[in-house]
Chains A and B, each alone.
Chain A
Amino acid sequence: MGYTMAEKILGRASGREGVRAGAYVTARPDYVMSFEAVAGVYLRMSEAGVDSVWDNERIVVILDHYSPAPSIRAAELQKIARDFVTRFNIKHYYGEKAGICHQVMPELGFVAPGRLIVATDSHTTTYGALGCAGTGIGYAEMAYCFLTGELWFRIPETIQLRITGKPGRYVMGKDIILSIAGHLSAEGAQYRSLEFHGPALRDLSLASRMTMSNMAVELGAKFGFFLPDEAVFSFLQDRVRGSYQPIYPDADAGYEAVHEFDATLISPQVALPPNVDDVVPVSEVGDVKIDQAFVGSCTNGRLEDLRAVAAILSGRKVDRMVRFIVTPASYEIYKEAIREGILETIIDAGGCITHPGCGACFGAHMGVLAPGEVCVSSSNRNFVGRMGSPEARIYLANPYVVAASAVAGRIVHPDEL
């Protein structure tokens, strides 16, 4: 029997090629990343008297969760993060000048096929879109990683998701992954690795793949792999640091389950509050008035998402009682959106552009919801209290649907405009 991507990459990173799902290994990540949370990591290091890091060139620090700082507490966290960077002479420090960490990590060439990367954030699974094993860990574990450069891993079982057909108009990676979440449930991939296969993926943009890998964690997954192809290689050209070796699953790899989804049958989807796996086609949402619309986050703040927004908003206005917040995921995307005139279209329609960061998605700042308010969002979680008040409700959808809803003042399919 052959090997899955998870078995191969963790086998390679632990020097134990040939390990199988269920085994435990100690592996050495190629890079590790943290953001303001590095203040928490630093605290754990201090508690243990740790005064060195294993390799100051393998640690990346990006400030994205609270930038620019919305509170004294957040400003303090960032100050501690900068103290950490200075004290340990961290080479790859980007501060608040790059964007959302999971977009910036691939853009700056840290993420590449076959690598293992851990970060203090659950959405590190995003890197699977490039065939890279990315997964989230906590502060204490990151402290251990900073000290030793290694960490224990359980080799996960793998579920193969085979996507056939061709996505229709206004259908994005977001709709495919929401549809999968609806079928498999929020714990359908608990502690598992997902591998996306199938003919529908050839034409799926890297951005849409990143959305799907990003939300793999919403099904409980440890990794969400795509098989790296030309789209990945050309993206990494002139970006990637060092060399890399793409890793693919064997044709006879052992999968715990194989599920097939026909993209042709998937229409724009909406996850109803407060569960990511309570998913219906937008036509079945009913009459839901909204107070806020949001396009951004590590899930859907990329150029194709902003282009979708501009395509909908062109020649239209955001409903007068709705605020529409748009957050480009990185500086690079921000600049390109300016060049393409996307931001002007959004501003003319009455949208609000914010600094690239995590703000609105997790209710930190730049778009917090009041009790009783309703938001339609392109982000990843609609949990109670995720974007502000626990009495607010969040619907998740793709950027076309979010933008169309911002115009209509209620959740609609773009065809309804």
Chain B
Amino acid sequence: MPWPKNTKYLGKSTPRTDGPTKVSGRAKFTADVALPGMLYGAIVRSSWPAARIRSVNLAPVIAAPGIRAAIPAQEGTFEVRYYGAEIAAIAGISRQAVLDALPLVAIDAEPRPFVVSETDATRGESPKVFADRPNLGEGKARNTGEVEAAFAASAAVVEGTYHTQVEIHHPLEPHGHVVAWDEDELTAWSSTQGVFACRTAFAQALGLPQNKVRVVCDHMGGGFGAKFNPGAEGILCARLAQAAGAPVKLMLTRFEQALAVGNRPSSHQKIKLGATADGKLTAFQMEAFGTAGFGAGESTGGGSGRASFPAPYIYTVPATRVRQGTVAINAGQACAMRAPGHPVASFGMEAILDDLAVKLNADPLDLRLKNDPSEIRRREYELGAEKFGWRQKYRKPGSAPGALKIGIGCAGAAWMSGGKGTQAELQVNADGTVEVRVGTQDLGTGSRSVIQIVAAEMLGLAPEKIAVRVGDTRFPPSGSSGGSQTTASVSPAIYDACEKALAELARLSEVPDPKTDWLTACKKLSAPLQVRGQWREGLSAGGACGVQFAEVEVDTETGFVKVKKILVVQDCGAVVNRLTCESQINGGVIMGLGYALYEERVMDRATGVVLNPNFETYKLPGAADIPEIEIMLLDMPERGVIGVGEPCTIPTASAIANAVANAIGVRVDSLPITPDRVLAALGKVPATQRGASAVREFEPVFRHVAALPATAGAKEELPT
């Protein structure tokens, strides 16, 4: 890899370039855009979990004071399949005018039977989410080797059932757009992870040529996978603006965020794992299912429309039999959420691996070192174990004395990352300052700073001399910011642009090495010098790994779990900006903490509504919950630039869950690990419906999934 050695900025820590504008409150997000004559937009949503909408009468709304446009979500008769589905949209001169008008919409609806429980939905008599197909969709199946023979020959076999919850992204900035029409040209300020993807979608939905559509996203308040395309809300906003003849701002409320704009699918995993007496894995069998909302089996933006996930995750097992199904229910559709499928896969696999360690009376770390095919991860385990004091701290499960029990656990991750295709424009001004323009996005990930640091290093300039502009389809194209691909896609393009800029500057200025004589060379420019860079091979790669260690304290009287420490050993190839990279890792760990202990979308079986569509009852980690997080960030410039945003959130919940099992000597098999589940596992309270006592409910579904033919689904490719 041609990245320079002995770098000045690359791999070091530099404060992010948009820090000052954000701390001052000057940074404008989509939610902050204000245009003259702008109207306030809102969506009318279904209060039925399933219904046929026969007609939507908007006449009383249009007549209401201050209302400038009202449109149905669809023409004619249509079906809604979840509580919160879009029915109509309204725009008015103020929030108050719109709020007063919303109840005036007259909806002629025929409620339908509905189902919101994954297990209920698989029963023969269950209401069907779609009339023409079963709720339990065609699944994924994979066989390798002969599992029956392999289990029979195994010295140790463990079985377990593990459950993960539906998780909601909840970025702090809601989904939303401001759309303005200028005759037949459309400009959208969108809170998005993909300005170009949004442009394509707006153009298609509204029948516009792409060269008449511009999408802008200067700052955006978080996406985590939910903001890859405009969504129903974006298109409705554009149609409202068109109907009203005025710009419309449509930002979703927190309530709507919990219903309608995506989630991480749930999982129920029945796993059987076999090994030799000294812990080498021999056989792996899994039946699993989960729900991806009403759209089970459909592909969604960013992938992972289904509830399937890689198995046996990062471990190589010679004989496997995997069957996975996705169950449709009347709930909001899933979409990609930070490392789709991987935290789910990790939880089941790392849990049963630890359960196998218990059976073999082995140290769980040794089992991983023995079975993890990744040399990088094995090295990370060794490094981390020493820093963490694993060997000194490890105790047999449940053996800690007293009511407050300490336990430790670990888990590993793999993520494709990679990324390609970015183009960038670099402009050198006569005063020696530089501007870089890329149609990429900064979700808080620090992409702006990545661009600035690469340019600073390659041009030999202080970062402050380099202004970075992103988030506009008028800039050179880049892909959507997802899959942890932005850094690897963008950095080579900047490298390329800098190489070209130096060559061109040398030619124009006749200064042979502009890097060493920058100002002299620039002064010779009669016009700003603009060059175009593009992504090229040899500077970036895929294949991030990472391991995490967790130390927890479990109060066996209250069931409360306190995470005391998380140690992360993370690789991401060549580190670009260490400071922002570590912040991403902190963020991934804290999101994993929420997945482990607090977050869960709860549906009400009786009414089909989301019971916790707010932050009081859907609990995000807060200031009091944050453990000590220590990061060992491995800089491996020889591997090229690799993204880190997702690998760092994959193993956190698994490590915490394993630490809890180690502390109390018994497995809590469901996420989130709430106090009631801990106490139930300890036998101190009866097991709840959500937990292991629901075995009776799950068994028939596992049997059904097990019977899926070995045809559907492609093999998941994982990096080694």
Chains A and B are bound partners: no
Which residues does B use to contact A, with CB under 8 Å?
A: none
Which residues does A use to contact B, with CB under 8 Å?
A: none
